[in-house]
């Protein structure tokens, strides 16, 4: 499930030849953008980048590989498969990037300028959540604003009023169907039934079934209980009371 989720999020199903060039370039640009604030802070404490590397320095070799080898592998993955790498997927690999550069530039650090490092750090530390808060308030179409609990409560109440069995299966897109599946009290299985050759068998089984998606489409194909919630269509099939 985790592997398939990653493949779906990487837009592997939206394959185009240009993706082998476009997505790796976007990946590198985004990684550089993430690290720009760090390099700005680093510049204030080590303005002269005089690097001396010893061939037998095992600490340097270790830090270099744990920081840059994963990035190289992910870049090659994007290059060969043409997949889109989500920006935040890479953040765990930067946990030791600071250790690497401090170790590399330890003799060049000017400790009396360390206050400038902390000033920039606190500015970024305060600005980042404020900017995120502003975007969250002004842009209501973000996934963080998706009313998943509200939709699931309406669906659960409607289901309890009309059916005696539990919801055992949820269909629909990975986002809408998966979100609904997560919040319903019976924690039903999510399945993209329209890509499943056994879809008729699944729908006609004893499992309580809920399909969520485009309201205009579902209103035409649903032959059971249909209603709208938050601009989405809901179709429910189960054992009637």
Distance CA 26, CA 11 (A): 14
Tally of residues, the chain: 241
Q: Residue 196: is its pLDDT beyond 50?
A: no
| Cα 199 versus chain centre, distance | 28
Q: 133-165: per-residue pLDDT in tens? A: 887 777 766 666 788 899 999 999 999 999 989
Alpha helices (runs of H) in the chain, residue ranges in sequence order = 2-9, 19-45, 58-81, 97-104, 114-138, 148-162, 174-183, 199-203, 215-221
Mean of the per-residue pLDDT values of the chain: 84
For the chain, the structural domain boundaries read 2-143, 146-237
Taking residues 227-231, report their average pLDDT: 90
Task: Output the CA–CA distances (angstroms, integers) from residue 152 to 45, 142, 149, 158, 215, in the order listed.
Answer: 52, 18, 5, 10, 16
Q: How confident is the model at residue 207 (pLDDT cuts 50, 70, 90)?
A: confident
Percentage of the chain surpassing pLDDT 90? 22
| Residue-level pLDDT at 222 | 87
| Residue-level pLDDT at 202 | 47
Distance CA 178, CA 189 (A): 8
Confirm if 206 and 167 have CB atoms less than 8 A apart. Answer: no
Q: 56-67: per-residue pLDDT in tens? A: 788 989 999 999
């Amino acid at each position: 499930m985790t592997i398939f989720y990653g493949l779906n999020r990487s837009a592997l199903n939206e394959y185009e030849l240009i993706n082998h060039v476009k997505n790796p370039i976007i990946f590198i640009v985004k990684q550089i953008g993430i690290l720009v604030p760090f390099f700005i802070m680093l510049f204030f404490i080590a303005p002269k980048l005089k690097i001396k590397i010893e061939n037998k320095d095992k600490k340097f070799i270790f830090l270099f590989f744990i920081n840059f080898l994963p990035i190289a592998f992910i870049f090659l993955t994007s290059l060969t498969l043409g997949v889109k790498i989500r920006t935040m997927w890479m953040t765990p690999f930067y946990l030791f990037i600071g250790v690497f550069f401090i170790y590399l530039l330890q003799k060049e650090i000017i400790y009396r300028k360390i206050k400038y490092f902390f000033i920039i750090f606190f500015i970024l530390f305060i600005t980042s959540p404020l900017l995120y808060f502003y975007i969250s308030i002004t842009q209501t179409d973000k996934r963080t604003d998706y009313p998943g609990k509200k939709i699931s409560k309406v669906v659960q109440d409607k289901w309890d009023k009309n059916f005696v069995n539990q919801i055992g299966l949820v269909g629909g897109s990975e986002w809408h169907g998966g979100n609904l599946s997560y919040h319903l009290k019976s924690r039903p299985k999510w399945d993209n039934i329209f890509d499943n050759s056994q879809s008729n068998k699944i729908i006609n089984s004893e499992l309580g079934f809920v399909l969520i998606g485009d309201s205009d489409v579902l209103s035409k194909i649903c032959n059971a209980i249909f209603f709208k919630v938050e601009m989405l269509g809901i179709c429910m099939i189960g054992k009637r009371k």
